[in-house]
Chains A and B, each alone.
Chain A
Amino acid sequence: MKAAIGGLEKRLRLAGMLLIIGLLVEAICLLWARPLAFILLVCAGGLLCAAGIVVFLYSLVSAGEETPKR
């Protein structure tokens, strides 16, 4: 059970880190009004945020699987 919680926390941390980096990229792109910023926002920021959300959703699904049935 503890191992399952440890795995869940690890995935939540990873999701959080990916999302923070993605949001930072987005913030920089919003401040940097250049055409390249748009590409960076969609490609880097979007990808990082999407990856963070996927990891978070996966952590929810895997937490259900890892929790032993009573």
Chain B
Amino acid sequence: MHVPTILLLSLIVLSAVLIGVLVARPSVTATRGGKILAFLVLFLLPSLCMTMGVSSELERSKSTEFCLSCHTMASHGRSLYVDDPAYLAAAHFQNHRVPADQACYTCHTNYAMFGGFRAKFNGLHHVYVQYFGKPRDPIRVYDPYNNRECLHCHLGARSFEEGAVHTADPDLLPAVKANKMSCLSSGCHDVVHNADQLSNVKFWKGAK
């Protein structure tokens, strides 16, 4: 368990104990000190605990472990361990081109205004579908994947800007940067998760 979670749990326990004291002896609020204590434990501490709790859960919702805890995402999780550099998601995950503990969020958030909020809103929809609906089969992203998400990291990188294939055609990079030619679906990096074709692939031995 992470240290902030332990601290937050300690604060919750402390708040609950202090509230318990007030519930058992509400007459203590008759004094000035009791009134201050009541304001502290019935208003300030619970507000602080809830704010920190929601913030902690929002942070946790970015983790790879969180995303892959849904059964539906299991095959996508396995695809991260494919032993083939052509698999884009696996190559990024295994070589830490994205933080391994936030692999899903890093590529599937939207690097525009309110992108993080939108990703979390979509996440709420995923939770709803997981428990109360029927997930799509196969799973698809909501919108065509925008090059902006790739360029967030790759733009300006030497391997991207000066790569032999990228510079072979002078029109290629401007088209990619303008999102007129997709990095994924134009035939260049089109093997991403391919989660429905994992039965015949080799998996990386370093996988935990």
- B57 interface residue per 8 A CB criterion: yes
A24 & B16 in contact (Cβ 8 Å cutoff): yes
Q: Which residues of B contact A29 (CB under 8 A)?
A: 53, 57
B54 & A34 in contact (Cβ 8 Å cutoff): no
Interface residues on B, range: 35 or more
Q: Which residues of A contact B66 (CB under 8 A)?
A: 33, 35
Give CA–CA (A27, B30) in the complex, Å: 31
Give CA–CA (A31, B65) in the complex, Å: 14
A36 & B127 in contact (Cβ 8 Å cutoff): yes
**Which one of B22, B29, B46 contacts A22 once the chains associate, using CB atoms below 8 Å?**
B46
Residue of B nearest to A17 (CB): B23
Main secondary structure of the interface of A (DSSP, over half): helix
Main secondary structure of the interface of B (DSSP, over half): helix
- B13 interface residue per 8 A CB criterion: yes
Number of A positions contacting B (CB below 8 A): 35
- Which A residues lie at the B interface, using CB under 8 A? 5, 8-9, 12-13, 15-17, 19-20, 22-24, 26-27, 29-31, 33-39, 41-42, 45-46, 49-50, 52-53, 56-57
- Which B residues lie at the A interface, using CB under 8 A? 5, 8-9, 12-13, 15-16, 19-20, 22-23, 26-27, 29-30, 38, 42-43, 46-47, 49-50, 53-54, 56-58, 60-61, 65-66, 69-70, 123-124, 126-127, 130-131
